[in-house]
Every structure is written in structure tokens, then in C-alpha cells.
Amino acid sequence: MSSVTNHDERPNPDNLDDPGLSETKTERVSYLRAGHTLRSWLFTTDHKRVALLYMMSITFFFFIGGIAAAFVRADLLTPSADLMTNEGYNRAFTLHGVIMVWFFLIPSIPNTFGNFLIPLMIGARDLAFPRLNLLSWYIFILGGIFTLFVLILGGVDTGWTFYTPLSSMYANGNVVLVATAVFIVGFSSILTGLNFIVTIHKLRAPGMTWGRLPLFIWSHYATSVILVLATPVLSVTLALIAAERLFGLGIFNPELGGDPLLFQHLFWFYSHPAVYIMVLPALGVVSELVAAAARKPVFGYKFVAGSSIAIAVIGFLVWGHHMFVSGQSIYASAVFSFLSLVVAVPSGIKIYNWTATLYKGDISLDPPFLFAMGFIGLFVVGGLTGLAVAMLAIDVHLHDTYFVVAHFHYIMVGGTVSAYFGALHFWWPKIVGRLYSVVWGRLSAMFIFIGFNFTFFPQFILGYEGMPRRYHVYPEQFQVLHDMSSIGASILGIAYLMPAVYLYYSLRYGQPAGNNPWNVTGLEWTIPSPPPKHNFDEIPTVDGPPYNYPVRKEAKHA
Amino acid sequence: MRELPKVQTPYVDRAQQHEAGIMGMHIFLASEIMLFGGIFMAIAVIRQAHSQEVVEYSKELHYYLGAINTMLLLTSSFLVAAAVHMSRHARRKAVLALLVSAAFLGLLFLGLKGFEYWSEFQEGRLPVAGGMEKINSAPGRLFLNLYLVSTSLHAVHLTIGVIALLVVAGRIYTRRSALPQRSVVVETTAAYWHLVDIIWIFLYPLLYLAR
Amino acid sequence: MNDFASAWPDAASAYASNVDLLALFFMALVVILSAPVFILMVVFATKYRRGKNADRTEPINRNMWVEVSWAVVPFLLILFFYGWATSLFIVHASPPSDALEIKAVGKQWMWKFQHAGGQREINELHVPVGKDVKVVLASQDVIHSLYIPALRIKQDAVPGRYTELWFNAEKPGTYWLACAEFCGTDHSAMTGKFIALRPADYSRWLAENGSDGSLAAEGEKLFVSSGCSGCHSPDAKVHAPSLAGLYGRPVPLENGDVVTADDQYIRDSILLPQSQIAAGYPHIMPTFENILSEEDVLKLVAYVKSLAKASEENLP
Ligand code: HEA
Ligand code: HEA
Ligand code: CUA
Ligand SMILES: [Cu+2]
């Protein structure tokens, strides 16, 4: 990290009574100090503050979901049912899935970093509809409260997939309440997506043409399209489930002439695109991190930007790959399998282009880049094993086994959560205006990587050996691998807590960051850290491509 | 005359704000289409699986009431479109008259729809407690359930539309929204109204004329 | 630690070994596609580490052909696997017509199996090795999925329809069988044994577990006791179609469609009689939805099927 020059005082970090660095001049005029009351936070329309509200809320939900995961892993230490009852176990993984997907991962990068950075990166003073932005946070919180309420009432036991007729007729948990919670949070997603699309279309600074947008913006644009178009289908599906439970609608009930598979089609029509909601923002983050670490433009900007859009579009056509053994027609299965391969091509372009970006780069091994490297490695493994389950004959064996569990944790946890932490470490100095300890950052990146592989790699083997998922009791032969996984999860859990400590410490004792601590390009780095309330004193004019790092023309001889 | 509204925070000028408003509304409408799209899919699947019953029960629906309602909505859409045009030319009185009469047609639609539900209830063909003596096959009942769900969801949207039209008319009447500067509110409300109309144009044949 | 051999699960059929082969080659492909990324990332991060002296002149920012090639080449490679996997899947999805048929009913939380001779078992499935066996799956409540890891196959049992699964087990032995689709509280207890026996042992097992009659025979009893014969026997006063010779025949429906009278059609005729009316008959057949269990229906289907080659007179 480049050395810092513009600090005013030196605190003594060993002296616990030292109040830390007192406010710097930029901090005094930043968005963080523009109003100190609770009210000024709860009624803010500043996109940066809303981003922080989201950041706190999703961190909270990450811990709740993580604790549910800890229960799951602890229970799986032994093949028999000891810690929880069967019912309790089912409720644990259902809540784990529901909370992690809808209350943590989907909002994670878009609603925090997207919210914070989109206006800064395109040179705008705020999102297009600032009040709508705040409203979407309140809707999110309302949905969250419903979920917590369900948690207190005892939970649900349908799995995050709510398959009918189990969820609509047989399950005895609070299905309607959870469906309502997810239904509500869906509107928050739709509003956020809408806001992003309009912002990116209408509020770009002069000279910020589509071809000059940072790749982070492109991927958020693609994400928003999915948010807006896929989420309503989930809403209506959940509403139909609720109607089925409350009034016996019959649409998913074969006894009444309905079709249980119709539910799966509707659910996956949303939920497959939703997995790209979870990963596209992460891909955008990694593009930024790779360019910043290598101090080079991303190799093949156009392909990388276009691949985000391609993923979003093709992603709408592959939902049937979750239904290969459901009794869906074999022709449909063959087509869905094929399209799943097609959707891998744009993902591949991104991966290989990033690798090429590093060539002749000036690569820093600071925490953000370590997280980005972790992301690339784990995403490749997750993605290619996704292709394995997209192969029909292989999926017939692996469907609903731990292989699938491993596949999606590699992408969602190994991939997106790593990217989230990468983003956090990259933009933290911008957000709070202080530097954190780079050494601790590197350590936690490594621990997370190691803990992660320890937890989830054994699950690939478990799955191939035939260990079904959502199994509370299991044959003894699987115990060794399950135990490895549980031990890994403890390492991972602790590793996830590490950043909380040193980032908090940086708030008090960190050195002031200055405008551009990493010495990188991008409009967000041209303004003070933390940024002032109105972002730019004067709306900037853009006159060059993104990632415009100086190119070395001649060989530098030693 | 009140002061002209100021340009709000993220915008540099009024034209930009106007465009953003319209675009936001269009995106919202796209998501509404997807919402109803799910229901259309469900109706289509049930129809495919039980064509016989669906046709049988569809024949019992009061298709002429539906036809009148279709006419009402088409006319109201026309009025609303005219209101948009007038608002750009600051024809305040005309805009008011057009909006209020479109809202009135919307209310008529709702009234007629209510009457239709009531008569179906009397005939024992409405899938609610006490109103379904005549429904004696499961798929038939399922079809009528979907009929009830989709038309009532549409009616809710229409109610919101009527309220929106009236609110906009009220703001124009009290001059809180000046014309033509704030014609964007007329335009976005009109866009919403057209969508509700279009959804009906799809629902009507799918439910009433499926034979 | 387990030895490696046991980490690779048993393969009890030729199909299973084929899947293993495919999976193994696919994993090789995974390595081929990902290794360049891993290796180059590490190499570049070392070679071009910040502060290290290296040749960084004239970096390139784009090269269309390179980019297209690394999009297309992996795709073509994987297309080959697509063909392989899909052809294997088609084998899996097309049961031979002369396969031995076993009926399975999934129910919260147990598997019930019935052999053609009427032998019944719960959570255990005995099959002969070296024979094509087809399992017809039905579900009484929610979706279940019959999973036999040693055969590398599974199939959902969906309420309201029949699905099928077939295999030809080669290695006699006892294997694990499970329910793979989450089905509620005791999902993980819905497991059992898949027992592949030598044909002679299988015959002995069948004989030892002899039942009062074959499936079709039980279906015949039900046909009378449930009142079907009241309408469907030749001397009934009601105008109802004869079921003799019905199975496998095309049936013209009232709405103009023509369907083949397969298992699913007969099942639907019994449970949802109003949805597909045979042309020319009154709409009077009542539904047996809440009267007959899935197993009863399976028996009736077996009975109607046994009439495929019968003539009018054989009807009770
Ligand atoms: C962020 C989340 C995320 C993402 C991005 C993906 C991405 C992909 N997923 Fe995954 N998936 C899930 C989350 C995700 N998935 C979840 C949660 C489930 C389980 C749901 C449940 O049942 O609970 C699931 C389940 C799932 C299944 C069903 C398995 C089953 O239940 O039987 C399938 C089957 O096809 C699948 C396939 C794919 C494919 C092909 C991709 C592709 O997009 C991957 C593309 C990426 C790469 C391929 C890697 C990089 C590329 C290269 C290195 C280039 C070389 C390759 C080529 C060009 C061919 N996924
Ligand atoms: C979307 C994001 C997401 C995330 C981040 C995670 C994170 C984790 N998941 Fe999750 N998982 C899902 C999404 C996610 N999962 C989904 C969708 C399912 C399917 C559900 C279903 O079948 O319906 C699933 C299912 C699932 C299963 C399968 C259950 C089953 O089928 O029976 C398992 C089992 O190991 C598991 C484990 C874990 C672990 C160990 C983590 C870890 O990464 C979590 C680490 C975090 C913490 C542990 C919290 C922070 C730390 C502490 C609070 C400190 C204290 C804790 C310890 C010291 C242990 N998950
Ligand atoms: Cu039956 Cu799981
Ligand atoms: Cu998918």
C-alpha cells in the first residue's frame, strides 16, 4: 500500500486510552459526519449511507445464517441424530438457505458496494431515485423482521426450494410466513434493480460513454436486468403457494388436477437467473480488483463487458437443468443441458481474460488481490463442477447429493463471499477514510481460502460416493469426510470473524487514507475519502477509457 | 401560481429528471408483466392438461360482461392517452376532464366485475365458500380458482390505477403539479393505466374465450 | 483412514461403470481447463510482482482471435462430453420393453415395492442380476426420489404421475438405497437395501415370499370389490367401454384427441375420469381419488394391462 502523507496527528496504538486519530479535515466534511443523529441515518437518502445501512443489516443476517450452518455442521459430526431432532435439522438448513440466499447473498454486493459505488463511478451525485433507495432498505428490513419472527416461532422445514406438494400441503412449519418474508424482500430487489438501471442510463457524467464504463457497472447493469425481470416470477409463485395453503387453490396439487412440476418450473425460472444475481456483481468486483492489482486495463474490455450481458440473457434459458430427474421430458432435458454449456462460455471468457490481464502487470499482493485470486480459483472449480452436473448422465447420479452442495458453495461462498471480502478490503479506505492492517488482511484472505477448501472439498467426494443432501442421519462410511468438513467449517467461521476485528480497529487507529491509497484509476478515487455528501463538488468530465494506466514503452533494464 | 418545482438532487436539469421518471416507470411495468406472466403460464398449463373441463367451465363465464368491460378499458385508455397529449400542451381543464372520465370508466369496470362475481356466486360457480354448488370437477374448480385469482389481482391493479388517476387529477386541480412542466406524472400514470389495460386484453381471451 | 478403493463407490452395473468412466474423463477435462488458470496466475503473480524487475513493455490489451479461441475451444471440447453424457442418458431413459416390472410407491417415509407375482416388501428391493428390471414409481403424498448410488441412477416419484427407472444389475450384493428428494421430517430415514440376487436365488426369494396372488389377480379382486365391474362388465346395464384389449391401443377421446392407453392413461381414467373422456360414452364414471390408494391403483392397472390380449368373455 502506498505510503500516506496527509495525516495530521500520530496516535499511539499501544495506549488503549488514546482516543485514536482525531477527526481529519476531510472526515469533518464527509457524508459520515453530515448529521449525527439516528434520525439523520434512518431518514437519509444519501446512497452512501443507505449502503452502510445495508452493510450492517446483511452482516447481521450473515451471522444468523452462519450460526444455522454451524448447527448443521455440528450435527453432521456423527452419523446419528444427536444434537437435533430430524425436524430441527430440517429447519436449520432451511433457514440457513433462505437467510443466506435472500437476506445475505442477493443483496450483498449490489446493495452495499453497488449502492455506494455506482454513482461515484459514473460521476453522479446520487442514484436516480434516492427515496426509492431508502424505501427498498425499509422493505428489506420488513422482510427480515418477518424471517426473524419465523425463526422465533420455530422455523420452516421445506428447504429453500419450497418444493410442492411438500410445502403446499404437507409441511407443518410456517411456510406462509416465510413465503411472505421472501415475497416482501423481492420488492426490495426489484426497486434496487430499477434504480440501478435508470441511474446507469440517465446519470452518467459527460463523456462517460458506455464504452468507458467500469466493468463493475456493466455487471451491475446485467444484474439489475435479472433483478427486475426474474424476481416478479418468484413473487407470484410464492403467492400461489400461500394461496394453495390458505385456500386450497389446487394449482400445484395433483389431486385437484394441478401439477407439482409447474412449481419447479416457475421456481427455477427465477432461481437459476438468481444465481447470476449472486455471482455477476462478484465478477464485476473481481474485474476491478484484477485491473487495480495489475495496474493494467482489463484484457479485452469489450468481451468482458459483453459477457456479463450474455450471462444475464442466456441465464434465463437454462432453468430446467435443476429438473433432470424430475420426470421432465428427455428432449427438454437435452436442450437445457446444452444451454447450460453455452452459458459457461461467457464465464470462461472472463476467467481467461483476467488471467491474460496479469501478464506483464505490476501485480500487488495486497489483500484485495489475494481475495480476487481466491475468487478466481474457487469460481473455476465451482463453475466447472457446475458443468459436470449439467451433463445429463452425471447429474442423474449426482443430483441432490453433496456434490451439488459443494458445487454451489464453491461459487456462492468461495466465489461471491470472497469477492465481497475483496471489495470490502479494496473500498474500505474509501468508505471510512482509514487504512487497515495489510498484514492481517493477507492473513485472513489465506485463512478463509484454506478453511473454505477444507470445508467443501470433501463434499465433492461425499457426493460422488452417494451421500444425499438434506440428510440428518447417514451411513457410517461417510463420517470421516463429514468430520473433515465440520472441522474446516470451524476454521472458516473463525476466519470470517478476523476482518471484523482489524477493520474495527482501523476505524479508531487507522491512518487516514487520502484520496487514492492504492494509486489506481476510477472516478471514485479522485474524490476525498470518505467522500463528501454530494460526492463531487463539480460533476467531472470523462475523457478517456477506464483503467487508463500509463503504458511502459521501453524495456527497463536492471 | 406556485413556484416551479426545483430540480431534485441527482439531476442536472429537468429534462433529465423527466426522462428518468418515465424510464423508471417503464422498467416497473416490465416487472409487472413478468408478474402476470407467471399467472398466464399457470393458466396455459392447466388449460393444456385439462382442455375439456377448462372449455366447459370457460363457456359458463359471462363473456358478454367481459366484452363490455374490455370496451370500457379500451375507451379509458384512449382518454388517458389524450390526457397525456393535452398535458404537454398545458390544457389543464381538458386534462382534468379526461383523467376523471377515465377514472370513472375504471370504476364502472370494477362495478361490472363485482356484479359478475355476484351473479357467478348466485349461480354457484364462484370458487368461494357457499358459492360453488355447480362446480363438480376438480380441474374445473382449479380453472375457476385461477380465474378468480387472476381477475381479482387485475382488479387490485385497476383500483390502484383509478386512485392514481384521481390523485394526479387532484394535484393538477390544486395546481400542485404545474403543466406542462410536470406532465411527467400524467405520463407515468398513463403508462401504468395502459399496462393494466393490456393485461386485461390478454386475460379476457385466455379466460373467457378459451374454447 | 479408508483405503482409496473404498472411496470410489461400488459400481453394480455396466451402466454405472460407464457413468464412472464419463465422470473420470470429465474430471480430466476440468483439470485441463482450470490448470492453465491456476498455473499462470501463480506464475504471473510471482514474475510480475510489484517492485520486482521484469519485462513489462508493450503489454497487449486485446486480441480478438485469442479471445474467441479460448471461448470456442473449451466449448468444442465440452460438446464432445455433451454428446457422450446425453447418449448415456437416453439409454437410462429408455427401458427395454421386455424388462421385468416392479412397482414402487413412495410414501412419507418408506418405500413399498411389489413384484409382478404380488410379493411385497418395504424398504428392501430384491432383484435378479443379469436381467433388465424396470421400476415403475408412484408417490402417495409428496415428491420422493428413488436413489441407488451403486447403479448411479435416481428418479423422482411424483404424485399424480408414473415415472420409470430401469437397470441391469451385474454384481450380486447388498447395496444402499435412499430417498434423494427432500420429503419432510424423516427424509433421511427413508433408506433401505437394494439386494441383487443370482437368478436362482431370486426365484427362491420369490417363492419364499409367495403371496396370495399376482398383482393382476389382486387387481381383479379389486375390480369387483370396488364396483368397476358394475359398469365395465359385458352384461352391465351402463354404457361403459369394455376394457378387454384396451391396453396399448389408441383411444379416441371426446375432444378429438387420440391417446395411447398406457399406465398413465389408465391411472388417470380411474382417478381423474373427467379429464379424458372416451369418445361416445357418457360422463358418468365416478372418481376413485379418495377411495383407492396408489397401490390399489397400481394393481388395477396391472389387471387392465393383463386384459390386453383378453377377449370380452374373460371379464368378470
Ligand atoms: C452463484 C451461484 C451459482 C452459479 C454462478 C452457478 C453456475 C452454474 N451452475 Fe449451479 N447451482 C447453484 C448456484 C450457482 N450455480 C445452486 C445454489 C444450486 C443448487 C440449488 C438447489 O438445488 O438447492 C445449483 C445447482 C446446479 C445444477 C443442478 C444440480 C442438481 O441439482 O442436480 C446444475 C446443473 O446443470 C448447475 C449448473 C451450473 C452451471 C453450468 C453454471 C455455470 O454458470 C458455471 C459457469 C462457469 C464456469 C464453467 C467456470 C469458468 C469457465 C472456464 C474456466 C472456461 C472453460 C469452460 C467452458 C467454456 C466450457 N448448477
Ligand atoms: C448463499 C450463501 C450461503 C453461504 C454463505 C453458506 C455458507 C455455509 N454453508 Fe450453506 N447452504 C446454502 C447457501 C449458503 N451457505 C444453501 C442455499 C443451502 C441449501 C439449503 C437447502 O438445502 O435448502 C446450503 C446448505 C448447506 C449444507 C447442506 C445441508 C444439507 O443438505 O443437509 C451445508 C452442510 O455442510 C452447508 C454448510 C455451510 C457452511 C459451513 C457455510 C460457511 O461458509 C458459513 C461460515 C460462516 C459462519 C460459520 C458464521 C460466522 C462465524 C461465526 C458465527 C463464529 C462461530 C462459528 C463457528 C466457530 C463454527 N450449507
Ligand atoms: Cu422421501 Cu425423501
Ligand atoms: Cu441453475
- Cα separation, A206 vs A387, in Å, equals 42
Model confidence at A2: pLDDT above 80: no
> Among A427-441, B187-201, C207-221, whose mean pLDDT is lowest?
C207-221
Of chain A, the percentage scoring pLDDT greater than 70 comes to 95
What residues of A are in contact with residue B38 (Cβ under 8 Å)?
232-233, 236-237, 240, 266
Cβ–ligand 3 distance for C181 under 6 Å, the answer yes
- Give me the helix-helix angle, A367-390 and C14-47, nearest 10°: 160
pLDDT recorded at residue C120: 83
C2: confidence class by pLDDT, cuts 50, 70, 90: very low
Ligand 1, from A277, A322, A351: best to mutate by most atoms within 8 Å of Cβ?
Answer: A322
The reply to whether B114 falls in a domain is yes
pLDDT recorded at residue A93: 94
C-alpha distances in angstroms, A64 versus A93, A142, A444, B200, C247?
Answer: 12, 16, 21, 43, 57
Residue with CA at minimum distance from ligand 1 atom 55: A348
> Measured between CB atoms, which of C275, C287, C289 is closest to B53?
C275
The reply to whether B53 falls in a domain is yes
* Residue partners of A110: CB distance under 8 A and separation at least 6: A192, A196, A220, A223, A224, A227, A277, A281
Among chain B residues, the shortest Cα distance to C278 is held by B52
Could you tell me if A332 lies within 8 Å of chain C, comparing CB atoms?
A: no
Ligand 2, from A405, A416, A492, A496: best to mutate by most atoms within 8 Å of Cβ?
Answer: A405
Would you say A405 and A272 are in contact if contact means Cβ atoms under 8 Å apart?
Answer: no
Report the candidate in A175, A186, A278 with the shortest Cα–Cα distance to residue A223.
A278
C310: confidence class by pLDDT, cuts 50, 70, 90: low
> Among A88-97, A264-273, A356-365, A410-419, whose mean pLDDT is lowest?
A356-365
Cβ–ligand 2 distance for A478 under 6 Å, the answer no
pLDDT tens-digit series, residues A477-532: 999 999 999 999 999 999 999 999 999 999 888 888 888 999 899 999 999 888 99
Would you say A49 and A31 are in contact if contact means Cβ atoms under 8 Å apart?
Answer: yes
B57: confidence class by pLDDT, cuts 50, 70, 90: confident
Query: What's the gap in Å between C229 CA and the centre of ligand 4?
Result: 49
What residues of C are in contact with residue B138 (Cβ under 8 Å)?
272, 274, 287, 289
- Cα separation, B6 vs A303, in Å, equals 41
Cβ–ligand 2 distance for A412 under 6 Å, the answer yes
Query: What's the gap in Å between C6 CA and the centre of ligand 3?
Result: 26
The reply to whether B5 falls in a domain is no
Question: Best mutation site among C254, C265, C272 for testing chain B: the one with the most B CBs within 10 Å?
Answer: C272
Could you tell me if A249 lies within 8 Å of chain B, comparing CB atoms?
A: yes
B56: confidence class by pLDDT, cuts 50, 70, 90: confident
The reply to whether B174 falls in a domain is yes
B75: confidence class by pLDDT, cuts 50, 70, 90: very high
- Cα separation, C203 vs C236, in Å, equals 40
Would you say B116 and B67 are in contact if contact means Cβ atoms under 8 Å apart?
Answer: no
pLDDT recorded at residue A1: 39
C96: preceding bond cis by omega (within 30 degrees)? no
Query: Residue C259: what are its φ and ψ, rounded to 5°?
Result: -125, 160
Cβ–ligand 3 distance for C144 under 6 Å, the answer yes
pLDDT recorded at residue A142: 95
Dihedral angle sign, alpha carbons of residues A542, A543, A547, A549: negative
Report the candidate in A398, A387, A513 with the shortest Cα–Cα distance to residue C152.
A398
What residues of C are in contact with residue A397 (Cβ under 8 Å)?
19, 23, 149, 152-154
pLDDT tens-digit series, residues B5-39: 566 777 878 888 888 888 999 999 999 999 999 89
Task: Read off the pLDDT of each residue in A53-82 and give the average, rounded to a whole number.
Answer: 94
Would you say B69 and B193 are in contact if contact means Cβ atoms under 8 Å apart?
Answer: no
pLDDT recorded at residue A368: 94
Structural domains of chain B, count:
1
Task: Read off the pLDDT of each residue in C292-312 and give the average, rounded to a whole number.
Answer: 78
Q: Who wins on pLDDT, C7 or A84?
A: A84
Residues paired with C13 in a beta bridge: C169
- The edge-to-edge listing of strands for the beta sheet with C192-197 is C124-128, C192-197, C173-179, C144-148, C153-157
Task: Read off the pLDDT of each residue in A464-469 and give the average, rounded to a whole number.
Answer: 94
Residue B179, Cβ neighbours under 10 Å: how many? 18
What would the grid cell of residue C68 be? 474467441
pLDDT recorded at residue B1: 39
Cβ contact A124–B10 (<8 Å) = yes
* Residue partners of A104: CB distance under 8 A and separation at least 6: A58, A61, A62, A65
Q: CATH code at B180?
A: 1.20.120.80
Domains recognised in chain A with CATH numbers: 46-534 (1.20.210.10)
Residue with CA at minimum distance from ligand 1 atom 9: A386
Q: What is the pTM of this model?
A: 0.88
pLDDT recorded at residue C67: 82
Contacts 24+ apart (CB under 8 A), A151-156: A151/A64, A151/A95, A153/A177, A154/A91, A155/A91, A155/A92, A155/A94, A155/A95, A156/A91, A156/A94, A156/A95, A156/A98
C-alpha distances in angstroms, B179 versus A310, B3, B82, B98, B186?
Answer: 42, 12, 15, 15, 10
What residues of A are in contact with residue C59 (Cβ under 8 Å)?
296, 359-361, 551-552
Dihedral angle sign, alpha carbons of residues A204, A208, A214, A220: positive
Residues in chain A: 558
Q: What is the 3-state secondary structure (H, E, C) of A190-218?
A: HHHHHHHHHHHHHCCCCCCCHHHCCHHHH
- Cα separation, B177 vs B174, in Å, equals 8
Query: What's the gap in Å between A411 CA and the centre of ligand 1?
Result: 8
Cβ contact A190–B30 (<8 Å) = no
CA–CA min distance C182, chain A (Å): 7
- Cα separation, B141 vs A76, in Å, equals 45
Cβ–ligand 2 distance for A490 under 6 Å, the answer yes
Alpha helices in A359-478 (DSSP H): 367-390, 392-398, 402-409, 418-432, 438-465
Nearest ligand to the C-alpha of residue A337? 1
- Cα separation, A352 vs C67, in Å, equals 8
Among chain C residues, the shortest Cα distance to B47 is held by C275
User: How many contacts does B have with C, using Cβ atoms within 8 A?
Assistant: 21
CA-based end-to-end distance of chain C: 64
The reply to whether B200 falls in a domain is yes
The reply to whether B7 falls in a domain is no
3-state secondary structure of B51: helix
Task: Read off the pLDDT of each residue in A421-430 and give the average, rounded to a whole number.
Answer: 95
C-alpha distances in angstroms, A414 versus A103, A220, A384, A494, C23?
Answer: 18, 20, 14, 15, 23
pLDDT recorded at residue A14: 55
Report the candidate in A379, A405, A383 with the shortest Cα–Cα distance to residue A467.
A405
Among chain C residues, the shortest Cα distance to B139 is held by C275
Query: What is the ipTM metric for this complex?
Result: 0.87
> Measured between CB atoms, which of A126, A240, A257 is closest to B10?
A126
Query: Residue A211: what are its φ and ψ, rounded to 5°?
Result: -75, -5
pLDDT tens-digit series, residues A232-266: 999 999 999 988 888 888 888 888 778 889 999 99
3-state secondary structure of A517: coil
> Measured between CB atoms, which of C255, C274, C276 is closest to B137?
C274
C4: confidence class by pLDDT, cuts 50, 70, 90: very low
Cβ–ligand 2 distance for A495 under 6 Å, the answer no
3-state secondary structure of C177: strand
Domain of B42? Answer: 14-208
Report the candidate in A354, A224, A233, A232 with the shortest Cα–Cα distance to residue A297.
A354
> Among A436-440, C176-180, C220-224, whose mean pLDDT is lowest?
C220-224
A411: confidence class by pLDDT, cuts 50, 70, 90: very high
Cβ burial of A88 (10 Å; 0-12, 13-18, 19+) is: middle
pLDDT mean across residues, chain A: 90
Dihedral angle sign, alpha carbons of residues C115, C120, C122, C124: negative
Question: Which residue type, as a one-letter code, is found at position A267?
Answer: F
Could you tell me if A333 lies within 8 Å of chain C, comparing CB atoms?
A: yes
* CA atoms within 13 A of residue B130's CA, in its CB half-sphere: 4
- Cα separation, C144 vs A21, in Å, equals 61
A6: confidence class by pLDDT, cuts 50, 70, 90: very low
pLDDT tens-digit series, residues C40-97: 999 998 988 888 887 777 777 777 788 888 888 989 999 999 999 999 999 999 999 8
Return the top range by mean pLDDT from A337-341, C182-186, C287-291.
A337-341
What residues of A are in contact with residue B11 (Cβ under 8 Å)?
203
